[in-house]
Amino acid sequence: MLFTATLLAPQMTHYRPDQIDLSAQFAPASWTHLLGADENGRDVLTRLIFGARASLLVGLVSAAISAGIGVLFGITAGYFGRYVDALIMRVTDGFMSIPLFFLLLTILTLFGSNLTNVVIVIGLTSWMRVARMVRSEVLKQRAMDYVLAARAIGAKDQGILWRHILPHTLPVTAVATTLNIAFAILTESALSFLGLGVQPPTPSWGNMLASSQTYLWTAPQLAIYPGLLILLTVLSFNALGDGVLDLMDPRTRWVPQSETPTKVGRQAEPATRQEVATETP
């Protein structure tokens, strides 16, 4: 529903997100303004829909950037090991030791705060979790028989990496990416709340929260609506990550076997001697 609303935003409302109507300041919910109007008479529902565009754009693009960097570093470190692994993991640990929000504030203060910079900065500073998760999976897959067999027949490292090992890292990559989407949306909202994220008049849920803090007592709905959307969106992407893991990881799939569901790969327990004797005529 959220993606549909963002794609069809111009068709879902006849207001512009920056359309000011001072005669409708703090207008209550009505057929004219379904969720009311803000301090400048702008339609709240329209701003929420167009604000979702900015928040989802930041979440999806920055998560794609972090996934690309994380997979590249993680698969390289896990497969080649030794000095390559040590170097990449020390760089990863170094990035993780820096307070991320402080780093974001510093970079955006130096290079300016706009939508493009927010997307790039969040993407370049949130790849560490993906790299560690992919590396862990590659270390496990590297010792599998199919990798040893590929080496035995003379397959090159590049072919083994991209043709055999990479597909097995997709479940953990998908889970880490969905978590990074939720993290990026939450981070963008916090940055916009502090005035370093998406800048007005472009609406985002974060700067809508920032502009509503002055009216918390007189018009609390202006803060409740964007805050509730941020909460529900973050929870949805976290739940999506769990669902993707269950869908893509064959070890967690349940298949019917007789009347009792068992997990794929679990072997049936051997029958006891007493059961065998009972069944023997």
Report the candidate in 146, 18, 122, 11 with the shortest Cα–Cα distance to residue 63: 122
Q: Decide if 170 is inside a domain.
A: yes
**DSSP-derived secondary structure letter, 199:** P
Residue 277 domain-assigned (yes or no)? no
pLDDT digits (tens, 9 = 90+) for 79-90: 887 888 899 999
- Give the global pTM: 0.77
The yes-or-no verdict on residue 254 having pLDDT over 60 is no
Q: Report which residue type is found at 145.
A: D
Mean pLDDT along residues 45-57: 87
Residue 275 placed within a domain: no
Which pLDDT band holds residue 239 (cuts at 50, 70, 90)? confident
Task: With respect to residue 213, please indicate whether it lies within any of the assigned structural domains.
Answer: yes
8 A C-beta contact, residue 126 and residue 177 = no
Burial grade of 31 (CB within 10 A; 0-12, 13-18, 19 or more): exposed
pLDDT in tens, 189-200: 888 888 888 888
Strand partners, 37: 43
Task: Check residue 64 and give its pLDDT.
Answer: 93
Residues in the chain: 281
- Residue 40 in domain: yes
What confidence score (pLDDT) does residue 68 get? 92
Q: Are 180 and 130 in contact (CB under 8 A)?
A: yes
Distance, CA of 1 to chain centre: 17
Q: How confident is the model at residue 267 (pLDDT cuts 50, 70, 90)?
A: very low
Q: How far apart are CA 92 and CA 73, in angstroms?
A: 9
- How does residue 252 score in pLDDT terms, banded at 50, 70 and 90? low
CATH number of the domain within which 126 lies: 1.10.3720.10
77, 84 in Cβ contact below 8 A?
yes
Side chain identity at 131, as an amino acid letter?
A: A
- Residues spanned by the domain of 14: 2-255
Q: Which pLDDT tens digit goes with each residue over 90-126?
A: 999 888 888 888 888 888 888 877 888 889 889 988 8
Residue 149 placed within a domain: yes
What is the tally of structural domains in the chain?
Answer: 1
Token representation of residue 224? 């409740």
Neighbours of 63 (CB within 10 A): 28
3-state secondary structure of 1: coil
Q: Of residues 271 and 76, which shows the higher confidence score? A: 76
